[in-house]
Amino acid sequence: MADHGAGGADLNRQRPGWGVVLAAFTLMFMGFGAAYSFAAFFTAFQSEFGASRAHVSLVFSLCALLWFSAGVPGGMLADRFGPRGVCLAGALCLAGGLALAANAPSVGLLYLTYSIGVGLGIGLSYVPSVAAVQHAFVQHRALVSGIAVSGIGAGNLVMPLAAAWLIGLVGWRHAYLALAVAMLVLSVPAALTLGGRRSVRKGADGAPLPGMSLAQGLRSAPFWLMYGVALLICVGFFVPMVHLVPYALDVGLTEAQGVSLVSLLGLGSLLGRFFVGGIADRLGHVRSLVAVGAGQGLMFLLWWVSKSYLPLAVFAVVFGTLYGGYVALAPTVCMDIFGPRALSAIIGSLYTAAGLGTLIGPTFAGASFDATGSYDLPILVCAALCFAGAGLAGTMRRHLPRQHA
């Protein structure tokens, strides 16, 4: 497989690459921070609406399904017109969804406001901004990608604690209004700093970018291998994000300790985005992907036997690190295999697998608890799926240039 970075050095020198990284970081910090703060609102929704854990979990799962699914049209639009307008639309959807959710009278209306607004907003801003970072750099893409997507980890670290503080101060409805205002203040300017059409459609010499088209990518074996890996691993990704707080309450911890565990997931995620990408550039991108999947399986087994704060905190930090590593690695592996030509659209198409996994995972965990009074079954199922995903990732090495495998 040819290395699609060749011929991009001139383009790299002409781009304000670090400005793109900062803009992408901000968009992901705000968008995913608002999404991952959902755990802080979980018990408030149960109390306000008298809803089951399965129904409350479905609000988040539908949101995640939509943000991963919206990556397909979002990526295609960004490939054609550039990321600026697409990410701006995403930022406005996020602010609108949060503002409307603040006035929702039922869980059903949260599906229509929070799930759609936040899901569509992240879907339109995430894939185009991630792909823009890949276009802006030629060398050390995994490292730079990790720095950009560390905005997700930073948002996960800061926003649940901030949301819990706001909920205690002004209630969950006004907390969502405050997040909507913050979205307008920070995310809209970040979207406006991203490039237009010329920055992603052609090289510095005006020639079309190398690599596969979307149709070629969809017909390739590596695409479907990566799709399978994402589906298997991502079933478990968001189960802790949604259920770690209620699990903590079930084993006798306080709600503040539960929310802090979600923030520790964010701390780990932040570390993973910074450090796993740099390690992967030396170790090999697919080797690192295998290690991430296997490590997540082991962490689910640790969660299964943990009943006190300290082991749960270890689980949260390490699991978050591995999750952050996966998010940093996936776009880079796509660039290695498919090249820059239709990168946004291909990444968006792959992320539909993560959306399906996320729809299944938290909802299944909530329904399982409602039926059995225990999280044992979903935790063990998630562990098994992560191990299977790691095994499948190991078969991808033959599709990569040797320096990336």
**What digits encode the pLDDT tens for the residues 222-268?**
899 999 999 999 899 889 988 998 999 999 999 889 989 988 998 88
**Segments forming the whole domain that contains residue 100:** 9-202+210-399
Q: Confirm whether 35 is domain-assigned.
A: yes
Per-residue pLDDT, averaged over 18-44, amounts to 89
CA distance 63 to 348: 16
Q: Confirm whether 331 is domain-assigned.
A: yes
Q: Confirm whether 156 is domain-assigned.
A: yes
Over 60: is that where the pLDDT of 404 sits? no
Q: Decide which of 75 and 302 is more confident.
A: 302
Task: Give me the percent of the chain exceeding a pLDDT of 70.
Answer: 87
Q: Decide which of 87 and 209 is more confident.
A: 87
Which stretch of 17-21, 27-31, 309-313 has the lowest confidence by average pLDDT? 17-21
Per DSSP, 112 falls in state: I
pLDDT tens profile 292-303: 999 999 999 999
CATH at residue 260? 1.20.1250.20
pLDDT tens profile 196-214: 554 444 554 555 667 888 8
pLDDT tens profile 346-355: 887 888 888 8
Q: Confirm whether 1 is domain-assigned.
A: no
Q: Confirm whether 71 is domain-assigned.
A: yes
**141 confidence band (pLDDT: 50, 70, 90):** low
Q: Decide which of 370 and 65 is more confident.
A: 370
Over 80: is that where the pLDDT of 340 sits? no
**195 confidence band (pLDDT: 50, 70, 90):** low
Q: Confirm whether 404 is domain-assigned.
A: no
Over 50: is that where the pLDDT of 7 sits? no
The total number of structural domains that make up the chain = 1
Identify which of 122, 25, 2 has the alpha carbon closest to the alpha carbon of residue 69: 122
**Burial (0-12, 13-18, 19+ Cβ within 10 Å), 297:** buried
Which stretch of 3-17, 25-39, 42-56, 171-185 has the lowest confidence by average pLDDT? 3-17
Q: Confirm whether 225 is domain-assigned.
A: yes
Q: What is the DSSP string of 32-52?
A: HHHHHTHHHHHHHHHHHH---
Q: Confirm whether 405 is domain-assigned.
A: no
Which residues, at least 6 apart from 356, have a Cβ–Cβ distance to it below 8 Å? 65, 68, 231, 234
Task: Give the model's pLDDT for residue 217.
Answer: 86
CA distance 129 to 354: 18
CA distance 213 to 187: 30
